[in-house]
Amino acid sequence: MSAEAKTEGKDELTKKKLIDIIGEFYGQLQSERVPYLNLPTRTKANIEYNDASEVWVYGDRESVRSAKTVRGAYQLLKTSYVVDFLNAQLDQAKSSTLRELYYISENWDLAKFREQQESDRLIEDLEIVSELQRENFHIRPEEDGASVLGPIKIKEQTRRGTKIIHCQDDVGEGGYQIPNNVDNLEFLEHDAKMIIAIETGGMKDRLIENGFDEKFNTIIVHLKGQPARSTRRLLKRMNEELKIPVVVFTDGDPWSYRIFASVAYGAIKSAHLSEYMATPAAQFIGIRPSDIVNYELPTDKLSDQDIRALHSMLSDPRFESEFWQSEINLQLELNKKSEQQSLAKYGLDYVTDTYLPERLSEMGVI
């Protein structure tokens, strides 16, 4: 079957699942019931560990979105408008961004979104109910700029045809830009011993400039802060299909620990996609609160928001291990945080020549 035929088949299945959601509303009305929609409660209290997939997924707690209230009725109306828009988009073989969807609703009068966060959340609701991903709806995020550089050759299927790229030889210093739908990629060959996913662009550039990818046969993935779905999906695919270990290198603050958690365990707001995107074998490599002490790193004081986030993490089931509980409590005691680039205190080569090799050796990666 051709790639076009496969895409058409997926689009037809997507349209059917979306229409079935609206069909449920009609069925409820015909049965003289007030229309409603059941959705999982998206809080840390409603995520549970799945032993089979080794990731965190939603539990049994649900909330009901019902037309019994004015607010609920408007939400179901907006759901209907979005489904209609998505089906028209699929019919026309077009796509749009999350931002464009928000602006398109300006013409919907009663169904207009108040802010983009509201329309983003509704797309997530549709993913949960339909058991699909937003990529199936032809909805994509804004360009996120995440990239890959290292000893791996891939085949990418684009609308202009197929292209083969070596992510070390055929790309610039910035690396290969990760596409929105990484399931269109085929891994052809690689010499990689590990994958290091890096939070900041500055540290990514340091590793590349120092030749870390060549010296240690490493695929370097720039997360660019909180990683996009496509980046997390790519990490999972390379880890599981190619059996390459993944380590995540971030700053030493609560927001960075959550970046690691989204890669390894799954994010709370997208727990319905954890089995599709999370890489449970991923390991955390730094910066740890204990590093602040052991390496006498330059620091900043924790903000009130940092402190609240750390306290919240102490009751987050994704951070219930002895390691995380100990490190988080230490950070609260120190009242300090530190960045990856604070290692430059010991020279520009210290992170690639000393810190990372020692830590990777301790972890058994090299």
Active site residues: 103
Q: What is the dihedral of CA 170, 365, 266, 114, to 10 degrees?
A: -40
Cα distance between residue 94 and residue 80, in whole Å: 19
Kindly tell me the burial class for residue 342, based on how many C-beta atoms sit within 10 Å of its own C-beta (0-12, 13-18, 19 or more).
Answer: buried
Output phi, psi for 197, to 5 deg: -95, 125
The DSSP code sequence of 295-332 is TT---EEPPHHHHHHHHHHHT-GGG-SHHHHHHHHHHH
**C-alpha angle with apex 80: 110 to 4, nearest 5 degrees?**
130
